[in-house]
Structure 1
Amino acid sequence: MKLEFFLNKVILLKKKILLVVLFLLFIIILYGYICNNYSNDGILNNVKKGKRYKITQVQEIPIELFIKPEWIPLNSDEEIKGKVLLELYESTIVLNVTKSNKLFFEFKIKQNMNYNGGQFIYSAILHEDNNATVTSPMLILTNKNKKKIDVSYGIGNSNFAFDIKPENYKDIEEGFYVDYKYVYLHNYVKKF
């Protein structure tokens, strides 16, 4: 009798463990599905791959930004993180500034994707066949007096960055303009 009671308890415990494992597995699968289909990154990845979304139009748009003097840590090692510079077409351009032996300015383009479709900016031309056309960026920096500032720069996954050497700090004391060419506006729509 005691053995039968003990075996029933073990079987009941195994059933409870199995139910908990199945429930956790269901939650993990549901989380993955939601992330892959409804999150910003999931929707952007589906648009880039041509899965469930169609790109209906691509147009080059120029971006001009003004970097205010208070965002330039010339006399300190202060870092600027997450400064929102511009919001347009369901996208946000955010600035991060760090300083070591030179000033490093990083601009991130964050998309705010809509499940049914919309518009966003990206630093490459996206095609529905999972390909992208990347052109060399054209980045022109000028100070308030329209004097061109020499920089070295790079482009990444919807980001761009440059650094300014100490010998050019005098040119940016009052702020400066960043003209960035080869940013593309994409229209996208959910396929039904």
Structure 2
Amino acid sequence: MNNKRWALLSTVIVIVAAIFIYQYYKSDSPSEAITEKVLNQDGYTVTLRSEHIPVEIFVKPEWINFNVDEPMKKDIQAAEIHNSTLLLDVVNRGNDIYFSFRTIFNMNNPSGAFIYNGYFTDEGISTSMDTNMKLYDKNGKEIAVGQTGIGPGAAFSFGIEKEEQMLIKEGFYVKYDDFKVYNYMKK
């Protein structure tokens, strides 16, 4: 009888441990869990440290889809700033080449800094539809920006029309001034 209890208890312990291990690996990474709570200001305070942080990125020619038949280029690591990584997706839509920069937050600690292109308020996050963005070719000549967009999250995007695409054959610079640096801290 005693051996049966130990066998049953051991089986229950193994099952419970397996469930916890499964839940741990199935759940988001600790960074994603912290990010979700920080952005929702759930148990974290978020304070503005500085506004209009200029980010300048050189978009390499090999990242650009000049042919409409090329598949979308995704997840190109374009820059890292204040514990945040900017990933670039590029697609040729025929009438323009569209560049989307997504921000991935590297929040592994209970406090730190990150960039965001919106304002944190008591009601949530507010964004502006204006974009402070300029494009330049390798020689510093300004390139006209086509369609622009903001979001979701701390993303921004723009298109370059067919008429301007010859100017980006050797790559180009993106200067974006709408990011703000925020500090976050666990309450």
- TM-score range for the pair, normalised by the shorter chain length: 0.7 to 0.9
Give the 3-state SS of the residue equivalent to 1:113 in structure 2.
coil
Quick one: which of 115, 119, 124 aligns to 1:125? 119
1:59-78 mapped onto 2 (5 Å cutoff): 59-60=50-51, 61-75=53-67, 77-78=70-71
2:134 maps to 1:154: no
Give the secondary structure class of the aligned counterpart of 2:70. coil
Give 5+ residue unaligned stretches, structure 2.
1-7
**Percent identity at matched positions?**
32
TM score, norm. by length of structure 2: 0.77
State the number of aligned residues.
174
Larger relative helix fraction: 1
- Normalising by structure 1, we get a TM-score of 0.75
Query: Displacement, 1:72?
Result: 1.6
Give structure 1 stretches of 5+ with no counterpart. 1-14
* Mapped partners of 1:125, 1:39: distance in 2: 24
Larger radius of gyration: 1
> Contact 1:48–1:130 (CA<8 Å) still a contact in 2?
no
The equivalent of 1:40 in structure 2 is 31
Please list every run of at least 4 consecutive aligned residues from structure 1 whose deviation after the TM superposition is greater than 3 angstroms. 26-32
Kindly state the Cα deviation for residue 52 of structure 1 after the two structures are TM-superposed: 1.6
Shift of 1:49: 2.6
Q: Which of residues 97, 102, 122 is equivalent to 1:103? A: 97
Residue 34 of structure 2: SS of its match in structure 1?
helix
Distance in 1 (CA, whole Å) between partners of 2:47 and 2:174 is: 29
Deviation digits for residues 84-126 of structure 1 (CA, Å, limit 9, x no counterpart): 1111211101111111312111111100112311111112122
CA-atom RMSD in angstroms? 3.0
